[in-house]
Amino acid sequence: LRNLKFYIEETVFPKLTGHIKKDTICEKTCQNYMGFKYNKKKEFIMMDMHKRPDVVAYRNEWLKRIFEYRKSMKDFDGDMLDVILESQLKLGEKELVQVTHDKCHFYANNRQQKIWIREDKDILRSKHIGRSIMVSAFLCSCYGLLQTYSYPMNNCKQIHILGITERSFCSLIYTNRWLVHQAIPIFELLHSGCIGVFCFDQSINHNAMAADALIASKMNLS
């Protein structure tokens, strides 16, 4: 738009009027003249449930628990978080260490959200997210990525390439197996004598139903 503005002011106007006059039009005028708008391509509706009463009640209860746990955890201070504040443990208590789990998906059909389109036109895009690469890992505040070089499976980072029809690897069964056979053994090597507080986000993949549960997507319509 800026180049178009300069072209009109320095080339078109002088040819029509015989003199140069800068700042005669604004970029918004150029945008309207071209018939384009810079807008986000919306393909879904997002509903905010964060203020729902049961969600607020659950969050408040979770905060009480985590603040109670923090009394038995180390803390870090300083500009570079290099000052370790030891937890004040009572006789017989064990130190708690918080371990978080997070993941990120990179989809084949990820695109720039805001695009230039004519006001009287639309662009058809694939509604399917396509194949994806999933990166998933466990982390703690002491070491960062939960990893060690003295264990056969030396880190808890997982990278998977998923097809369009493949189910997510982050199902409850897979996550439990990964937690038991990789994350916990590495945690016990890094934090000997401590108790791990493993935190997971509220992903639907971390929930489970009974094997004989009636699930619409798995029911035979015939």
Chain centre to alpha carbon of residue 92: 39
Three-class SS state of 91: coil
Residue 10 and residue 109 in one domain: no
pLDDT digit string, tens, across residues 13-22: 788 777 766 6
- How many domains are there within the chain? 2
Q: How far apart are CA 97 and CA 105, in angstroms?
A: 27
Dihedral sign computed on CA atoms, order 54, 58, 61, 63: negative
Residue 29 and residue 81 in one domain: no
Q: What pTM was computed for the model?
A: 0.60
The DSSP line for 92-111 is T---EEEEEEEEEEEETT--
Residue 100 and residue 136 in one domain: yes
Residue 22 and residue 124 in one domain: no
Residue 151 and residue 118 in one domain: yes
103 domain-assigned: yes
Three-class SS state of 5: helix
Residue 10 and residue 105 in one domain: no
21 domain-assigned: yes
pLDDT digit string, tens, across residues 181-191: 888 988 998 99
Calculate ∠ Cα 115-121-123, nearest 5°. Answer: 55
92 domain-assigned: yes
What pLDDT is attached to residue 68? 92
Chain centre to alpha carbon of residue 218: 28
211 domain-assigned: no
Identity of the residue numbered 66? I
H-helix or E-strand spanning residue 195: strand 195-199
Res. 117: pLDDT tops 80 = no
CB 39 within 8 Å of CB 14 = no
Residue 17 and residue 57 in one domain: no
Residue 15 and residue 85 in one domain: no
The β-bridge partners of 105 are 134
Res. 99: pLDDT tops 80 = yes
What pLDDT is attached to residue 95? 94
Q: How far apart are CA 89 and CA 85, in angstroms?
A: 12
What pLDDT is attached to residue 63? 92
Residue 12 and residue 62 in one domain: no
192 domain-assigned: yes
- Per the model's pLDDT, the better-predicted residue between 126 and 67 turns out to be 67
Residue 158 and residue 98 in one domain: yes
pLDDT digit string, tens, across residues 148-158: 776 556 666 77
Res. 179: pLDDT tops 80 = yes
| Average pLDDT over the chain, rounded to an integer | 77
Arithmetic mean of pLDDT, 75-99: 88
64 domain-assigned: yes
What pLDDT is attached to residue 22? 66
143 domain-assigned: yes
Res. 206: pLDDT tops 60 = no
Residue 151 and residue 122 in one domain: yes
Q: How far apart are CA 106 and CA 143, in angstroms?
A: 26
Res. 34: pLDDT tops 70 = no
What pLDDT is attached to residue 162? 65
- The position carrying tokens 């002088």 is 14
Res. 87: pLDDT tops 80 = yes
- Neighbouring residues of 146: CB distance < 8 A, sequence distance ≥ 6: 99, 137, 138, 139, 140, 155, 156, 183, 186, 187, 190
Question: How far from 88 is each of 66, 85, 96, 166, 214, CA to CA, in Å?
Answer: 16, 9, 11, 48, 49
Residue 7 and residue 102 in one domain: no
43 domain-assigned: no
**Domain membership of residue 9 as a residue range:** 2-34
